[in-house]
Structures are given as C-alpha cells and as structure tokens.
Copies of this chain bind each other. A is one copy, B any other.
Amino acid sequence: MTIPDLVGYMAATLTTASFLPQAILTLKTRDTQALSLGMYSLFTAGVLLWLIYGIFLENPAIIIANAITLVLASVILSIKIYNTVRQSRTSQIH
C-alpha cells in the first residue's frame, strides 16, 4: 500500500467513524437544538448519492463507508425532523 492509499483509508475511516459519537449523543439526549436541519438534509442526500456513485463504480470501499454514514446520518436527521415537527405543533397549540 502506498502512502497516498494509506492517507486515503485513514481519511475515510475518520470521516465515517466521526458520525458514530454524534448519533450516540443524539440518541441518548434527544437534544437536536444546536443541530442544523439544513445540514443533515443536504448531508444525508449527499451521502446517498455517494453510495449510488460507489455502486456505479463497483467500489466496495466507497459503498461500505457511505452505507455506514448513511445509517448514522439518517438516525440524527430523523430525530431532528421529529423534534422540529413536534416543536412546531406545540407552538401552534399554545
């Protein structure tokens, strides 16, 4: 494995793994106040496209990394949407 290959694998591992502590924190606290709905909407859509790109290229590394990130980002986005909808309903009632 060349040094650029090694750097690439380390980069992919870090950016993929990074969403795990965020997903755990969000699942535990259910606090999404400081999380941007715009960010998680764009990011989740982007990761889905990266996954499709990996499938087109038949590249296992791109497929695996983005499948994991898609699950983690979807968990965070779902809780953010749930909280946003609930908050908007509550403010309409009161």
Chain A residues near B (Cβ < 8 Å): 3-4, 7-8, 10-22, 24-26, 29, 31-43, 45-47, 49-50, 52-53, 56-57
Contact = CB atoms under 8 A, between A and B. Distances in A.
Interface centre among A14, A34, A41, A50 (most CB of B within 10 A): A34
Contacts of A43: 14-15, 18-19
B42 A18 contact: yes
Instruction: Give how many copies assemble into the complex.
Output: 2
A62 B16 CA distance: 16
B26 A42 contact: no
A8 B46 contact: no
A77 to B, nearest CB: 11
19 contacts: A7-B53, A8-B49, A8-B50, A8-B53, A10-B49, A11-B46, A14-B46, A17-B42, A18-B38, A18-B42, A18-B46, A19-B43, A21-B36, A21-B42, A22-B36, A25-B39, A31-B33, A33-B34, A35-B35
